[in-house]
């Protein structure tokens, strides 16, 4: 749900990553007190863990969130909100933005600059196929322990999901691998911020994505991995704040 408080403030839509939920972003309300947040649960995640993950349902979720953000902000000039997503959420945000040219003030992609056509694809497809044998609960315990070891604390650690969240993973990754390319950014009119951790494997093709975008900024968070929203929240919040407040300070140009 969005923050309650003064209207007509900058609004940021946040889309979570694979197996996470809107709870991933709850600690950011305190970190971004001058921005209203709209968060979502993607199908198959969070409160919607029993739902099938489909392309249509995922993009409809972002549709509804952007509409909610526009209502919250008043959006008198039609500029739209800033849309940000982490990992799976970043790729879905990119897909949505490419299909709604001119609908956003800004787009922030966090840990979402590995070209799904690249060599990492085989690794991720193999992991998805191996999940039944590995066991989702066991995999969740290992993954969550790793996130805590890398720095997830307090509310960020409490937001880590259980094994049920893995059910949507194969369908979600298949969608990304089938439809996402850096070329999606060629039609996006708003500024794009590409955020990666220094140790994030998903930054491997950041130059391709930056070259495809009309107006791109590349940000690297020192010492951070792919899990940076949970392990480096202060740094991620600072990037989000600048992305949101920066586009609201600057005049909006359309092409």
Domain locations in the chain as residue ranges: 11-248
pLDDT at 142 over 60: no
3-state secondary structure of 227: coil
The tokens for 8 are 């007509």
Mean pLDDT confidence for 65-84? 86
Chosen CATH of 11-248 out of 3.40.1360.10, 3.40.80.10, 3.40.50.1820, 3.40.50.720:
3.40.50.1820
d(CA 207, CA 113): 8
Among the listed residues 223, 217, 211, 254, the one whose alpha carbon sits nearest the alpha carbon of residue 239: 217
Asked if 51 and 43 count as a contact pair (C-beta separation under 8 A), the reply is yes
- pLDDT at site 40: 98
Beta carbons within 10 angstroms of residue 217's beta carbon: 17
3-state secondary structure of 12: strand
- pLDDT at site 27: 94
d(CA 106, CA 84): 8
Asked if 19 and 161 count as a contact pair (C-beta separation under 8 A), the reply is yes
pLDDT band for position 170 (50/70/90)? Answer: confident
3-state secondary structure of 188: coil
Among the listed residues 80, 3, 96, 4, the one whose alpha carbon sits nearest the alpha carbon of residue 42: 96
**Residue 245: in which H helix or E strand, if any?**
helix 233-249
Least confidently predicted of 58-62, 172-176, 211-215: 172-176
- The DSSP bridge partners found for residue 197 are 221
Mean pLDDT confidence for 98-105? 95
The model carries a pTM of 0.84
d(CA 173, CA 220): 24
The tokens for 236 are 């991620």
User: What is the distance of C-alpha 88 from the center of its chain?
Assistant: 6
d(CA 20, CA 227): 11
Among the listed residues 176, 170, 171, 172, the one whose alpha carbon sits nearest the alpha carbon of residue 118: 176
């Amino acid at each position: 749900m969005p923050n309650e408080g003064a209207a007509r403030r900058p609004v940021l839509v946040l889309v979570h990553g694979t197996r996470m939920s809107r709870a991933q972003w709850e600690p950011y309300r305190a970190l971004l007190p001058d921005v209203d947040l709209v968060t979502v649960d993607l199908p198959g995640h969070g409160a919607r863990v029993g739902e099938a993950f489909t392309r249509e349902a995922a993009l409809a979720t972002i549709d509804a969130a952007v509409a909610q953000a526009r209502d919250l902000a008043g959006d008198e000039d039609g500029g739209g909100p800033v849309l940000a997503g982490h990992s799976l959420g970043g790729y879905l945000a990119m897909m949505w933005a490419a299909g709604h040219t001119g609908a956003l003030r800004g787009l922030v992609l966090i840990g979402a600059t590995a070209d799904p056509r690249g060599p990492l694809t085989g690794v991720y497809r193999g992991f998805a196929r191996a999940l039944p044998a590995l066991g989702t609960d066991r995999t969740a315990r290992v993954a969550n322990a790793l996130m805590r070891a890398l720095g997830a604390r307090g509310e960020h650690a409490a937001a880590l999901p259980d094994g049920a969240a893995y059910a949507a993973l194969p369908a979600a990754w298949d969608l990304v691998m089938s439809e996402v390319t850096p070329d999606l950014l060629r039609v996006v009119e708003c500024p794009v911020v590409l955020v990666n951790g220094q140790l994030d494997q998903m930054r491997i093709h950041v130059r391709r994505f930056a070259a495809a975008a009309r107006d791109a900024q590349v940000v690297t968070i020192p010492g951070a991995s792919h899990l940076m929203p949970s392990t480096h929240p202060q740094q991620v919040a600072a990037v989000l704040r600048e992305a949101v407040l920066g586009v609201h300070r600057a005049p909006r140009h359309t092409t």
